[in-house]
Amino acid sequence: MQYAYERDGKYEFLETGTETKEPLMLLHGLFGGLSNFGEVITHFSPHYNVVMPTLPMFDLPLRKVSLSGLVDHLADFIEYKGYERVHILGNSLGGHVAILYALAHQEKLATITLTGSSGLFESAMGNTFPKRNNYEFIKQKTESTFYRPEVATKELVDEVFNTVTDRNKGLRVIMTAKSAVRHNLGDKLHLIQRPTLLIWGNQDTITPPFVGEKFNELIEDSELHFIDECAHAPMMEEPEQFNAILEQFLNKQ
């Protein structure tokens, strides 16, 4: 099923349900978008108001391009929509934003789900951007996100290539990636007091399995699940397993 964003003022987002359903909010990574979460949206929209806002790293004023700027935008969006009890799910950079939001607004959250989240350690793409005009290099880096390279379709590779070769967007990606490295959360994760689900790919080379284990150690009320033959985006590579784990977790809350 094809999904599309809608726009309401300064906010661009997908929303599948109504205010009578609990919101399940999806936060994409640095190069992520709706295509990353298609199976999650389809699976959970009958039971939740699945909401996916864009993280506007390409639209914020340059002085606000940072994780803090993205968290502020998310907080404004949740307030604007009037959501009161949100299940939040973040992949990669989106997980990092979810944690920072949680630390400031835990009263708004029901649960937190992190998959391949940055915030402790990540082998980032940003330090290799001098090769950004090399399509084959970008193709290889995009494929390395997955255990099976064929998951990185030509459309996905083209999207990443177009982003990093655009001077304005490329600069914003680098600024956001550097902000993520500066926002290490190792000394703050013990403050998380919401049920937390960690879903990690066993073959993740960007945020390797030990990162998931460290999140699990530092967040008291957390459970960790590994998916084999899977890398940095489990919801794309192994959506059935991912959705089953997430559904079981949410049903317990």
Give yes or no for residue 128 having a pLDDT over 50.
no
Q: What is the pLDDT at residue 1?
A: 64
Give yes or no for residue 127 having a pLDDT over 50.
no
Mean pLDDT of the chain: 92
Assign residue 2 a region: left if phi > 0, alpha if psi is -120 to 50, beta otherwise? beta
Q: What is the pLDDT of residues 88-102, one digit of tens each?
A: 999 999 999 999 999
pLDDT category at 126 given cuts 50, 70, 90 is: very low
CATH homologous superfamily for the domain 6-121+184-252: Alpha/Beta hydrolase fold, catalytic domain (3.40.50.1820)
State CA 249 to chain mean position distance.
Answer: 18
Q: What is the pLDDT of residues 159-186, one digit of tens each?
A: 888 888 888 888 898 899 888 888 899 9
Residues 38, 128: Cα–Cα separation, whole Å: 29
User: Hey, where are the domains in the chain?
Assistant: 6-121+184-252
pLDDT category at 124 given cuts 50, 70, 90 is: low
Mean pLDDT of 84-113: 96
Say if residues 56 and 28 touch (Cβ distance below 8 Å). no
Give yes or no for residue 130 having a pLDDT over 50.
no
State CA 183 to chain mean position distance.
Answer: 16
Mean pLDDT of 117-130: 68
Higher pLDDT among residues 76 and 32, named by residue = 76
In our burial notation (b when 16+ CB lie closer than 10 A, e otherwise), range 101-117 reads bbeebeebbbbbbbbbb
Higher pLDDT among residues 110 and 130, named by residue = 110
pLDDT category at 3 given cuts 50, 70, 90 is: confident
Q: What percent of the chain has pLDDT over 90?
A: 69
